[in-house]
Structure 1
Amino acid sequence: MKISDIYNKKKSLSFEIFPPKKDSELENIDETLKVLCELNPDYISVTFGAGGTSNCNRTIELAKKIKYEYHIEPVVHLTCLHYDKSEIDKFAKILIDEEIQNILALRGDKNPSIQEKGVFKHASDLITYLKSKHDFCFLGACYPECHPESDNKINEMKHLKKKVIAGTEILLSQLFFDNEQFFSFVEECRIADINIPIIPGIMPVINTSQIKRMVTLCGATFPERFQKIILKYENNKKALFDAGIAYALSQVIDLLANDIDGIHLYTMNNPLVASKICEGIRNII
């Protein structure tokens, strides 16, 4: 099933998980998947590491498990910066053989220790190449507060438009903590004639190390209301977990009240996070 078909009928609920770092740990993911799939998501996306066959294998094995054991549609992340055409072709063949139709096309993070192949410089290049050969449904990433490497919002929107023209059918957003940033971004997209579903990505912040990592990776702004929560509970693990869930839940409820197309939860492979959020919106979505 193509994910694009979902948005013709309803609002979506989806999760993101990542493969365990070791193949031996793949079996342990079942406890997480059991809880997540009982929440009846429309799809689950599986992240993809750069520069190594083992990353590809673990992503595929987890996607197969989601599809064939839990009967939930998987979306496979696929980065391209560190791969050439033959490697991408091999990956596409595996997906076709396993009847996996949905790809979240990504450039991938730059990594000085991994050689860039120079074939695919942007996600739009990957989509254009695969679209010419295969019938996948392509999802793309978007950044409500601009990609950290962007010069400005105008160039950011040009790159995003190029990705949509290439064949992106759904956009999943990077995490954010200020809904007004997301609403403004969606409005800017519509002005730019980007009219595909734009799904907000929400990550409940449940520990201080996670907060520091998010600031470093994506530069998301922290509203004053959120900062006060962190300062108040940063030394109380349980209180911070509860406060982080409550803040994320308030974001989700506000987004749904403003008629967005769905919610994508970054679960961090923590089923309790997804369960708490879903419990709070059980009668809303």
Structure 2
Amino acid sequence: MKIRDILNDNKVHISFEIFPPKTDAGYDNVLSAAEQIAALKPSFISVTYGAGGGTSKNTAKIASHIRQNLGVESLAHLTCVSSTKDEVHQVIDRLKEQGIENILALRGDIPKDDTFPVPNQYKYACELIEDIKSQGDFCIGAACYPEGHVESACKKEDIIHLKNKVECGVDFLTTQMFFDNSILYNFLYRIREQGITVPVLPGIMPVTNGKQMKRICDLSGTILPQRFRAIVDCFGDNPAAMQQAGIAYATDQIIDLIANGIRNIHIYSMNKPEVAAAIMRNLSEIVGA
């Protein structure tokens, strides 16, 4: 089933994300995590893609397993920054063969060796989106950045680029993680004013390890509210307490989003079924309300 159809029924939809193993030795552990998360009956599960092919070979395989054997719709990420167009076409063919109908089209982080782009390579996500659309009847998602993309000069420029992506054939958007809901509400107001009307799924990251924070900030430029900083400062050195506090903070974000009319929420669950399960327990009556 296409995700655009799932999102169209005005119910609350919760989805989760997993990532393939870095080595084949971790494959069974990822399948186990996927099975436990699927048992929570999310609206769909997304499967990330390793830049440079490091973990990408298993994306289609895991996404197909989730869809065909676990009874949950799947969304396969496709990142093009380290691949030629021919290589991307091979991946699209593989997704078709596995019966995957939903693709999250991403450019990815530019390599630091200044070789981007090389001949026969995509420069922008919109080029990838157009190519996917020309190759089959896929439902296509894309990323958006409520705090602005780190490469954009300003938020206005970023929204212009986002509108271009949507006009190339995007069916829905998933946001980068954020920790202050007012940032999302402001972002939604601004993009709707510019005529971007596709569904937007807020991306919520339950931070369960204080060491995650520096990497998150370095990669994305995400703003950390003082309330959240205080939680990390207080509990960051106590893994069990930090996990509980991170789950509570993410749950609070989700409850506020639902109370303010947001119906579709994506959770970056990081292959942690215990975290996904705790959040779903916290939302058990709210999601069905």
* Smaller-chain TM-score bracket: over 0.9
Contact 2:105 2:129 in 1 (8 A): yes
Q: Aligned pairs, how many? A: 284
Secondary structure at 1:104 match in 2: strand
Contact 1:79 1:105 in 2 (8 A): yes
Secondary structure at 2:175 match in 1: strand
Quote the RMSD (CA, aligned, Å): 1.4
Letter in 2 for 1:25: G
Contact 1:82 1:114 in 2 (8 A): no
Say which of 228, 245, 248 aligns to 2:247: 245
Moved over 4 A (4+): none
Say which of 210, 227, 230 aligns to 1:228: 230
Q: TM-score, normalised to structure 2's length?
A: 0.94
Letter in 1 for 2:162: L
Deviation at residue 278 of structure 1 after TM alignment: 0.7
Matching of residues 168-187 of structure 1 within 5 Å: 168-187=170-189
Contact 2:61 2:98 in 1 (8 A): no
Aligned to 1:125: 127
Structure 1 window deviating more from structure 2 (125-134 vs 246-255): it is 125-134
Matching of residues 93-104 of structure 1 within 5 Å: 93-104=93-104
Matching of residues 101-180 of structure 1 within 5 Å: 101-112=101-112, 115-116=115-116, 117-118=118-119, 119-180=121-182
Q: TM-score, normalised to structure 1's length?
A: 0.96
Say which of 201, 212, 215 aligns to 1:213: 215
Deviation at residue 243 of structure 1 after TM alignment: 1.1
Matching of residues 32-111 of structure 1 within 5 Å: 32-52=33-53, 55-111=55-111
Aligned to 2:191: 189
Secondary structure at 2:52 match in 1: coil
Deviation at residue 235 of structure 1 after TM alignment: 2.3
Between the aligned partners of 2:233 and 2:98, the Cα distance in structure 1 is: 47
Between the aligned partners of 1:125 and 1:11, the Cα distance in structure 2 is: 32
Contact 1:164 1:194 in 2 (8 A): yes
Deviation at residue 268 of structure 1 after TM alignment: 0.8
Aligned to 1:272: 274
Secondary structure at 2:265 match in 1: strand
Secondary structure at 1:51 match in 2: helix
Deviation at residue 168 of structure 1 after TM alignment: 0.5
Secondary structure at 1:83 match in 2: coil
Between the aligned partners of 2:146 and 2:183, the Cα distance in structure 1 is: 6
1:35–1:151 distance in 2 versus 1, CA, 3 Å: same
Between the aligned partners of 1:55 and 1:208, the Cα distance in structure 2 is: 25
Deviation at residue 89 of structure 1 after TM alignment: 1.4
Letter in 2 for 1:259: G
Secondary structure at 2:196 match in 1: coil
Contact 1:82 1:115 in 2 (8 A): no
Deviation at residue 261 of structure 1 after TM alignment: 2.8
Contact 2:20 2:56 in 1 (8 A): no
Between the aligned partners of 2:213 and 2:56, the Cα distance in structure 1 is: 28
Which structure 2 segments of 5+ residues have no match? none
Secondary structure at 2:57 match in 1: helix
Deviation at residue 70 of structure 1 after TM alignment: 0.6
Structure 1 window deviating more from structure 2 (27-36 vs 200-209): it is 27-36
Between the aligned partners of 1:58 and 1:223, the Cα distance in structure 2 is: 36
Aligned to 1:18: 19
Letter in 2 for 1:84: T
Deviations 1:104-126 (A, max 9, x none): 00001112359543531111110
Letter in 1 for 2:251: L
Between the aligned partners of 1:98 and 1:205, the Cα distance in structure 2 is: 33
Structure 1 window deviating more from structure 2 (224-233 vs 166-175): it is 224-233
Contact 1:175 1:202 in 2 (8 A): yes
Between the aligned partners of 1:216 and 1:134, the Cα distance in structure 2 is: 36
Secondary structure at 2:21 match in 1: coil
Contact 1:19 1:47 in 2 (8 A): yes
Identity of aligned residues (%): 43
Secondary structure at 1:112 match in 2: coil
Secondary structure at 1:108 match in 2: coil
Between the aligned partners of 2:230 and 2:92, the Cα distance in structure 1 is: 46
